[in-house]
Amino acid sequence: MEKVQLKTAENIALMREAGRIVALAHQAMKSAIRAGVSTLELDRIAEEVIRDHGATPAFLGYPKYGAPNFPATITASINQELVHGIPSATRFLRDGDIISLDTGCHYQGWVGDCAYSYIVGEASPAVHRLLEITEQALYVGIKASVVGNETRDVGTAIQRFVERHGYSVIREYTGHGVGQAMHEAPSIPNWWSQGKRKGRALAANSIASVPLQVGMTYAIEPMVSVGLPATRELDDLWTVVMADGSLCAHFEHTIAITPEGAQILTLP
């Protein structure tokens, strides 16, 4: 098992600045969201904010085995797309869309990583509720991120909350450690126990659980669907969609475990 890298207060201070820059990029993108805007325009906005603050995009050129390096500063995933959508000059937002935006940056050797799902224009109460529950699940996971718990406790808390409200937790993707690299140990699952969704049995989690310690820094990122939790990858080898075409949402913050409890590092 890969060793968890604990961070000093000085390290965390630099990560907080990286997180602040990412949060500012999200604020700028949120202000630009409206029908008719292309996902590539949102990418341009985020990259400009990141570079203007002395940082570099963490996603741009990110490698993946068997696929081209990621070509953009953000991932832009719409409606049934869960994560890793590639921005495009010909993909325009429409009223009622869910647009999930994820981005990260490198600042003085440290990473910030954060994602939000947004609604374009007006949407049904059911869409608003999906986003509300997914975002609340993020804070449930943050609340469970205390010394004395393990990573499985974070996943269990998120899973119980989401399933209690009638939604599915996606299993193929997890949160992760963040530090000098965007993906470090440990994995932070959004679920843990065996369960059922619409009569189908779901396997128990096989990820090793890790005790939480002061100095750990990681991203919690619940991914939630109104349908079944299975996903598939598109032919671009990046975009992940819900296999049943159901709507989904995704929220993420990078946090640090401190003696005072969990602190969110990706705030403006």
232-266 per-position pLDDT tens digit: 999 999 999 999 999 999 999 999 999 989 999 99
Q: What is the pTM of this model?
A: 0.95
| pLDDT for 244 | 98
| pLDDT for 61 | 98
| pLDDT for 208 | 87
Q: Which domains does the chain have, with CATH numbers?
A: 9-264 (3.90.230.10)
Burial class (CB in 10 A: 0-12, 13-18, 19+), 125: exposed
| pLDDT for 207 | 84
| pLDDT for 204 | 56
The model's pLDDT over 32-55, given as tens digits with 9 standing for 90+, comes to: 999 999 999 999 999 999 999 999
Q: What residues contact 210, with CB distance under 8 A and at least 6 apart?
A: 4, 150, 151, 185, 186
Q: Identify the segments of the chain with pLDDT beneath 70.
A: 1, 194-205
| pLDDT for 180 | 98
Which tokens is 255 given? 């946090």
| pLDDT for 203 | 52
